[in-house]
Chains A and B, each alone.
Chain A
Amino acid sequence: MAKFDNPEDIKVIVATDCGSTTTKAILIEFVNGEYRLMERGEAPTTVEAPFEDVTMGVLNAVAELEELSGRKLLDEKGRFISPANGKDGTDVYISTSSAGGGLQMMVAGVVRSMTAESAERAALGAGAIVMDVIASNDKRLPHQQIERIRHLRPDMILLSGGIDGGTTTHVVELAELIAAADPRPRLGSSYQLPIIFAGNKDAVPLVNETLESKVDLKTVDNLRPVLERENLAPAREEIHELFMEHVMAQAPGYKKLMSWADAPIMPTPGAVGLIIQTIADQYGIEAVGVDIGGATTDVFSVFRPGGEAVFNRTVSANLGMSYSISNVFAEATLPMVMRWVPFLMDERDLRNRVKNKMIRPTTIPQSLEELVFEQAIAKEALRLAFVQHKNFATVLKGVQQQRTIADAFEQSSSGSTIVNMMTLDMLIGSGGVLSHAPRRQQSALMMIDAFLPEGITRLAVDSIFMMPQLGVLTEVQPKAATEVFEKDCLIHLGTCIAPKGVSKKGGPVMKYSIELPTGTVSGTLEHLEMKLLPLGVQENGLPMTAKATFEPERNFDVGGGPGNKVEKEIHGGVVGIILDGRGRPFDLSTISETERVKYLTTWMTEMNIYDIEKMKALTGN
């Protein structure tokens, strides 16, 4: 920050996120010793014709902020008044962007499950949509790979391959394929396609020779210098630089927007990843964030398999609640969606309803029946996106492991997932279906049913999808970002306590004792039972806490090992404490049809998910 040497001097912040349809602006001020969200405004994004200038949408959204807050932010020429002076102006202005289809990349590496996968991780982490992964062993013939590269027209390509000192031939072969394809950038034909080489350092001169004359080649450190270690940061930084220099600069109005912003404009998902990493680092926790949109679902995670935080992001390109809803239905299959619905619906009619939502994506569920069905689809979309994430967030593949006799019984292998639901501390949901569910209990249950958290897990939703703006704010004023995130961005839903284990005979799962503000509540949680206990939020938006003791049965585990007692301070929220005795793994399909309807209705009633009378009318019960 050139303008402020000391981030503490930043008292007023305006941040925008230019999405493909809406530009969202937020105003943050330092009041009474803390940073708080003051107002938010939004306006349609103006990247496409007839406007073709992104700054118009930004100015409209900021004008709404002005109106709502009474703070004059723009001068007569429509420029930000900066720094802030009393009731006028802002100290900094920052922005993220996913307009114009976001950042679309292609990645290439020698071995699909090793360097190519590391390259994919680097691109996804930087906030890109990965259009395809080309690898020497991807089973496509070279001419097919060339055809593919030619047709895709990415914004940039990340080329990796070979550990340092390893293969050069295969890397150069990939470079030759790219050169032969002569790919054109998606936006603007006046510039050469940027290609980042982050592979074997010995191959640098050879790759230079092959590609230099045809593309805008940048070289950074190898993203997989040795098999045992990834070094993704240099590649990610270069992606962000090129995103600014090339991709953004081609989009209408962005040059002006870049000149206004006090920090580099970041791709929206990259910024969301940043705030989740910041929070996980600050509190030393493991966290999963999910953003379910109309077309795609993004999953972000920070886990600490060996003590060190590992960040992963995946984009499920065709799992979403409107444009891609039909695909969710096709991938999940009808029985998997309908297992969450406690009443009968006609299949032919359902299929038509799903397709009608796809072709008219802005419609909303009016009847309760439609809402229950839509939330059932959301659970499956989230579940499928998380399966993809688990398969991607793995320990590095191809690494030889030394095993001792003690490891012989452990079935973990090279490439096993690092996602551990038992150690996960916090699950954060965002996107219309989670953030705008009519009852918060519905958001909580959707996340629990989709992700099946184990042990003790906090649940929260992003109220108005401010995570992108807060992500870029971490680069400027991290304290403001985390304070606003905790107090204004997150709606704390509460904590889910789900003992891991199965019970064939039913019976008790665990004993619990929780010191609620209204008095200590204790009891026994039975198998297939769900309970909701009240523990709310404080006036400042932060959750109340309570001391709790859980004593699981010997085949159940709440984090301390099977049968071991756990004492922990747990967090409340607008929903409260959810005790989930359904066991893990939990599979509804193993329950008979009559039992399924009975249990679903019982859980929904206990959790106060829907209006009971209306549900009775639907289920005929």
Chain B
Amino acid sequence: MAHAYTPGLKVTERQVIQKRRILPLKGEVIVKVGDQVNPSDVVARTHLPGNVVPLNVANKLGVPPEDLEMVMLKKDGDTIKEGEPIAVKKSFIKWFTSSCEATIDGTIESVSHITGQVLQRGEPIPVEVKAYIRGEVTEIIPQEGVVVSSIAAFTQGIFGIGGETFGNILMATPDNSTVLSEDLITPEMKDKVIVGGSLVTAGALRKALDTGVKGIVVGGFSDKDLRDFLGYDIGVAITGSEDTTTTLVVTEGFGQISMAQKTFDLLKKHEGAMACINGATQIRAGVIRPEVVIPLDQSGGVGEVGETEIQGLKIGTPVRVIRHPHFGRIGTVTDLPSPLTALESESKARVLEVEFDGSERAIVPRANVEMIED
């Protein structure tokens, strides 16, 4: 069977982060292996085929579709300019001559003698892929993109909104439990990635947006505020394309929950350093979590620092409870009984005993805890 517990979110002091930066269509890679790149550097570019705009020329000119070729001035592949005649129906009387003009700049995609439709293809749309993190290009995937690697401090969030951005870290609250309220947002936070405690209020988020804050990393966020902020309710956890200039990374969950001390300390340690963050979340098979990547001194090269192996739950493992009635509390595993145990809800499940604050103990289903990982 699969693990009966949530593996937990990564909070790492130093590890190799590799990012595949891939174009949506084949194109041109403009960096080479060994190049040092910054987050805003373009690493690959391509052109998406332009939009297609149909035009029913046969209808417009009043000719049967099968006669379309006789009136067409342009053929497949020809370049067109908006307003340029592409078909003319001549008449003996000049006044009755009618024409049909291109509605966009681009090329003729196809002329149909069945439907009388002419498809116009717009100009190609340029697409660029940036490096996103500071690091070294370690692999080229020809015509598709690159892999950028960096030794970095790394922490994952549980939920986020907004896409990739970067800025220097600034601690906005003194500790991991203070609420990040509106009055704590100051003009000097412009272009920064700010770190809050247990909750960011709706007012603070709006003010941060107005101030030009690049990103907020915080313990919790209220669902009601999220809905008010976005103007709609998020039905399924697939985010990242929201129309916001401030990316939000929530590390613990919905509601007021102190940020894990370890996460807070890690971010505090790197105050002033550049953080590359992404709020994109996808909770489905092939899960994507929001993240904070803090590129470190790269000396010693890429690839010398190994990843820590994920270990299973054992006595002494620090865990966070992720469901009521102990939601958000952090403790240590003190027992792992193997038989199924009946819960208050009468469901039978594998459980563990957890000790909070060194004294109080509780029985919790294993499915309702996540390990606090290194």
Contact = CB atoms under 8 A, between A and B. Distances in A.
B309 interface: no
A359 B236 contact: no
B317 to A, nearest CB: 17
A357 B368 CA distance: 10
A157 to B, nearest CB: 17
B129 interface: no
Interface string A424-447: 000000000000101100000000
Interface size class of B (residues with CB under 8 A): 35 or more
A366 interface: yes
Interface string A147-181: 10000000000000000000011001100110111
Contact of A318 (B114, B236, B327, B345): B236
Contact of A367 (B54, B283, B324): B324
B254 interface: yes
A324 interface: yes
A21 B51 contact: no
Given A356-B323, A358-B283, A359-B283, A348 B224 contact: yes
Majority secondary structure of chain A interface residues (helix, strand, loop or mixed): helix
A192 interface: no
A20 B285 contact: yes
Contact of B236 (A146, A180, A323): A323
Nearest to B159: A359
Contacts of A323: 236-237, 283-284
B322 interface: yes
A444 B234 CA distance: 31
B211 interface: no
B368 A611 contact: no
A484 B253 CA distance: 44
Interface in B36-82: 49, 51-54, 65
A146 B254 contact: no
B54 A142 contact: yes
Contact of B325 (A143, A176, A352, A367): A367
A330 interface: yes
Contacts of B367: 362-364
A368 B49 CA distance: 56
Contact of A330 (B235, B281, B286): B235
A370 interface: yes
Contacts of A363: 6, 322-323, 365, 367-368
Contacts of B286: 48
A186 B65 CA distance: 35
B117 A21 contact: no
Contact of B110 (A179, A181, A361): A179
Contacts of A367: 324-325, 343-345
Nearest to A44: B2
Contacts of A614: 344
A364 B236 CA distance: 18
A359 B158 contact: yes
A366 B51 contact: no
Contacts of A326: 233-237
A136 B327 CA distance: 51
Nearest to B323: A363
Contacts of A101: 285
Contacts of B322: 356, 360, 363
B115 interface: yes
B255 interface: yes
Interface string B87-122: 000000000000000000000011010110101010
A545 interface: no
B307 interface: no
Given A330-B233, A355-B223, A360-B370, A366 B119 contact: no
Interface in B218-274: 222-224, 226, 233-237, 253-255
A377 to B, nearest CB: 13
Interface in B113-140: 114-115, 117, 119, 121
A557 interface: no
Contacts of A249: none
A168 to B, nearest CB: 7
A352 to B, nearest CB: 4
Contacts of A364: 323, 343, 345, 347, 349, 365, 367-368
Interface centre among A180, A361, A614 (most CB of B within 10 A): A180
Contact of B114 (A146, A168, A349, A439): A168
Given A323-B284, A359-B253, A348 B222 contact: yes
Nearest to A348: B224
A21 B253 contact: no
A366 B365 contact: yes
Contact of A173 (B117, B159, B345, B365): B117
Nearest to B48: A150
Contact of A370 (B6, B233, B345, B349): B345
B170 interface: no
Interface in A341-384: 348-349, 351-371
Interface in B1-30: 1-2, 6
B360 interface: no
B354 interface: no
B235 A324 contact: yes
A327 interface: yes
B54 A42 contact: no
B275 interface: no
A318 B110 contact: no
Contact of A356 (B115, B119, B235, B327): B327
B347 A371 contact: yes
Interface in A3-60: 20-22, 42-44, 48
Given A327-B235, A366-B324, A370-B324, A354 B345 contact: no
B243 to A, nearest CB: 18
A351 B51 contact: no
B6 A366 contact: no
Interface centre among A147, A359, A367 (most CB of B within 10 A): A359
A369 to B, nearest CB: 8
A326 B238 CA distance: 12
A420 B222 CA distance: 43
A268 interface: no
Contacts of B223: 348, 351-352, 354-355
B346 interface: yes
Given A48-B285, A176-B119, A323-B237, A359 B364 contact: no
Contacts of B54: 142-143, 176-177, 180
A530 B283 CA distance: 40
Nearest to A324: B236
Contact of B254 (A142, A181, A352, A361): A352
B324 A42 contact: no
A143 B49 CA distance: 13
B222 A438 contact: no
A436 B224 contact: no
A217 interface: no
A365 B347 contact: yes
Contact of A327 (B51, B236, B253): B236
A358 B236 contact: yes
A20 B287 CA distance: 12
Contacts of A204: none
A348 B368 CA distance: 21
A353 B324 CA distance: 8
Given A101-B285, A210-B114, A614-B344, A362 B6 contact: yes
A368 B323 CA distance: 13
A101 B285 CA distance: 8
A525 B235 CA distance: 41
Given A323-B237, A330-B233, A355-B223, 10 more contacts: A143-B53, A173-B117, A180-B109, A351-B223, A356-B327, A365-B323, A365-B345, A365-B347, A369-B324, A438-B345
11 contacts: A324-B235, A351-B222, A352-B255, A356-B254, A358-B237, A358-B283, A359-B253, A364-B323, A365-B347, A367-B343, A371-B347
9 smallest beta-carbon distances between A and B, as pairs: A327-B235, A438-B346, A371-B345, A352-B254, A352-B255, A351-B223, A355-B254, A330-B233, A363-B323
